Amino acid sequence: MIPEFEVRRAICEVGKRLYAKGYVAAKHGNISYKYSENEYFCTPRGVSKVFLTPDKIVKVDANGKKIGNGMYEPTSEVTLHIRMYKENPEINALIHAQPPFSTAYAIKNAPINNCVLPENYVYLGVVPKGAYNKATGGISAELIDCLKTKKAFLFEGTSVFSTGDTLENAFDNVDSLEFYSKMNFIGSYIPCGANVTEAVSDHSGNEAVVKSVTEQIMRELGM
């Protein structure tokens, strides 16, 4: 089992990465890690991710109750995180963030279902929308399905969630989601009728390079 301090340190590192990339602002967002069936670590309430330190990370039990007498309280959404872990035992890490492009899709209730790059479908598939009722603590059947089959998804019209077997993989998934959301958005402004090769080569002047890189990606993905 990973030492507790290493888990705390890793959560801080992920928090700082999220802040540095503009995926969270001020005191927004939260991160958690399932340490055991009755022990979870999560980010504290009211602390910016850029100012996280291992002593500020909160340990809670399966009911979301703080373990120990630390001075910080757990994120107000810790019970939601725990509920999500219970829906899929393979999930060990969760990130709730607001990366601008993918969050914009969430706000507009527009699922990201255009596979603008081969990696998009291979790594994330079609990114769906999920729903959660904060008043009742209930989650939709759609969200339960997301937790069982997806690595990242749009959330209740306001933000996004990513999952992973490790904190690093959970970060990679939210990072990928934002990258593909951005490509989706940019691609929507390319005039209809222009394919990817034409659009890129029009500016680069080297269609052969574009074709070569695309073929290499397809080979690496086994497609």
Residue pair 172/179 in contact by the 8 Å Cβ criterion: no
Cβ-based neighbour number of residue 142 at 10 Å = 12
Topology, domain 4-189: L-fuculose-1-phosphate Aldolase (3.40.225)
Q: Where are the domains of the chain?
A: 4-189, 193-223
Measure the CA–CA gap between 183 and 130, rounded to whole angstroms.
Answer: 22
Instruction: Tell me the pLDDT tens digit for each residue of 14-23.
Output: 999 999 999 9
DSSP strands (E only) in 55-158: 58-60, 93-97, 129-130, 132-133, 138-139, 152-155
Paired residues of 160 in beta bridges: 97, 154
Task: Supply the DSSP symbol for 73.
Answer: P
Residue pair 87/63 in contact by the 8 Å Cβ criterion: no
Residues shown for the chain: 223
Instruction: Tell me the pLDDT tens digit for each residue of 132-180.
Output: 665 566 778 878 888 888 888 888 778 899 999 999 999 999 998 999 8
Instruction: Tell me the pLDDT tens digit for each residue of 76-116.
Output: 999 999 999 999 999 999 999 999 999 998 888 776 755 56
3-state SS of 163-216?
A: EECCHHHHHHHHHHHHHHHHHHHHHCCCCCCCCHHHHHHHHHCCHHHHHHHHHH
Compute the mean pLDDT over every residue in the chain, rounded to the nearest whole number. 83
Residue 34 is encoded by which pair of tokens? 């399932």
pLDDT band at 187 (very low <50, low <70, confident <90, very high): confident
Measure the CA–CA gap between 199 and 116, rounded to whole angstroms.
Answer: 13
- Residue 59 phi/psi, 5° resolution? -105, 130
Its pTM stands at 0.81
The average pLDDT across 193-209 equals 49
Residue pair 115/121 in contact by the 8 Å Cβ criterion: yes
